[in-house]
Amino acid sequence: MAEEEDLGVRMEASLSENGIQEISQLYTTVNEKIGTFVVGNQKLVDFILVAMLSEGHILIEGVPGTAKTTIAKSVALITGCGFNRIQGAIDLQPTDMIGVRIYDTDKKEFSLRKGPVFTNILLADEINRVNPKSQSAFIEAMSERQVTIDGITMALPSPFFVIATQNPFEFEGTFPLIEAQRDRFMFGISSAYLSAEEELNIIKRVHSGQLLWETFARTLTPLLSPQNIQDHIEAIRHVTVEDPVLEYIRDLVMATRTHPDINLGGSSRASIALVNGGKALAALRNRSFVIPDDIKEIAPAALNHRIIISREAEIGGLTSRQVLDEILSKVEVL
């Protein structure tokens, strides 16, 4: 009996290792393919893949025109997933996103007209333009991967992954995301303008006709399927996290709750994001175990959008990122 159990453990470990290798190869292929069309934004592609393979969602804050939509559509095509887009607007209603039941006079019964949320990868563009009522309706879809219409609960497709964007430089007709909504996002990252060299690369590609989306999209053949993604998610669950790394995650989150310049620290969802994100990042780097550097790399994205610094610190010119950098420099792995 003991020999059989030992054999089962070895077989499971072997399958996990093979799964990690496949994930790492996928990471390399996806980045190479997207890199033939998208200039820069390597970090954004990395975090999108990590979030998707961790069953999380990602909030991207930044100026328009930084390839957020292009990257999202490219990932959807490469992974063989369904893709829909919601454009944020003040008058957007919950039914516009999740759907509505309508009465069919011919059949004399109600039928469901599904909204764009019924997909695998959902791009919620300018989510801070969505009114608070509709934002609240969106929470159920993100946290429970289901929607309720007229009292009837329906599961969303699997996998279900949200990429949301917001422009921090527009204030007319915007509604800051409520904390409960922000906390549902596994990562919150900023997209910035390209460097001078990268901008010149864009200009040269436009001039030579290399930035035609229709042409590029025809070259993107699915490398995966939704079921493959679920298999990879399962393999990532077997990535090892030793106790010192788990304690390091705890210490980072607790430090955000006790820091004098922070009014609201990271929630338990922040801890979960660090554990799951660390596992996914390790797998992308072809490792079956998490190291402290994995946690340090994803910590700003997992924590920055969740914390609120004190009014005094804000007046003094401190930003949440500066406070997080201080925490990361002081908290050590024991």
At residue 11, the pLDDT reads: 39
Indicate the burial class of 289 (C-beta count within 10 angstroms; 0-12, 13-18, 19 or more): middle
At residue 301, the pLDDT reads: 95
3-class secondary-structure state, position 45: helix
Domain count, the chain: 1
From the list 139, 37, 124, 47, the residue with the least C-alpha distance to 83 is: 124
DSSP tag of 157: P
Checking if the pLDDT of 291 tops 80, the result is yes
Out of 23-27, 141-145, 179-183, 252-256, give the one with best mean pLDDT. Answer: 252-256
Any domain includes 279: no
Any domain includes 295: no
At residue 7, the pLDDT reads: 41
pLDDT band with cut points at 50, 70 and 90 for residue 170: low
At residue 42, the pLDDT reads: 81
At residue 66, the pLDDT reads: 74
pLDDT band with cut points at 50, 70 and 90 for residue 90: confident
Q: What percent of the chain has pLDDT over 90?
A: 45
Q: Could you tell me the residue range of the domain that residue 102 belongs to?
A: 2-238
Any domain includes 65: yes
DSSP tag of 266: -
Any domain includes 243: no
pLDDT band with cut points at 50, 70 and 90 for residue 171: low
Checking if the pLDDT of 8 tops 70, the result is no
How confident is the model over 294-334, as pLDDT tens digits? 999 999 999 999 999 999 999 999 999 999 999 999 999 87
DSSP tag of 193: P
Out of 128-137, 202-211, 272-281, give the one with best mean pLDDT. Answer: 272-281
Distance, C-alpha 252 to centroid of its chain: 21
Question: Which of the two residues, 326 and 131, has the higher pLDDT score?
Answer: 326
Any domain includes 325: no
Out of 2-16, 32-46, 103-117, 279-293, give the one with best mean pLDDT. Answer: 279-293
User: What's the farthest any 2 CA atoms get from each other in the chain?
Assistant: 69
Checking if the pLDDT of 1 tops 80, the result is no
At residue 106, the pLDDT reads: 80
Query: What is the mean pLDDT of the segment spanning 29-37?
Result: 86
The span from the CA of 177 to the CA of 321, in Å, is 18
Share the mean pLDDT of the chain. Answer: 87
The span from the CA of 314 to the CA of 295, in Å, is 26
Domain containing 59 — which CATH number?
3.40.50.300
Any domain includes 47: yes
Checking if the pLDDT of 174 tops 80, the result is no
Question: Which of the two residues, 156 and 209, has the higher pLDDT score?
Answer: 156
The CA-to-CA distance between both ends of the chain, in Å, stands at 38
Query: What is the mean pLDDT of the segment spanning 149-169?
Result: 87
Question: Which of the two residues, 191 and 163, has the higher pLDDT score?
Answer: 163
At 22, which amino acid appears? E
From the list 36, 30, 33, 43, the residue with the least C-alpha distance to 195 is: 43
At residue 105, the pLDDT reads: 79
Any domain includes 157: yes
Which residues are 163's β-sheet partners? 58, 123
Question: Which of the two residues, 138 and 232, has the higher pLDDT score?
Answer: 232
At residue 239, the pLDDT reads: 95
Query: What is the mean pLDDT of the segment spanning 96-124?
Result: 87
Checking if the pLDDT of 258 tops 90, the result is yes
Checking if the pLDDT of 4 tops 50, the result is no
Any domain includes 219: yes
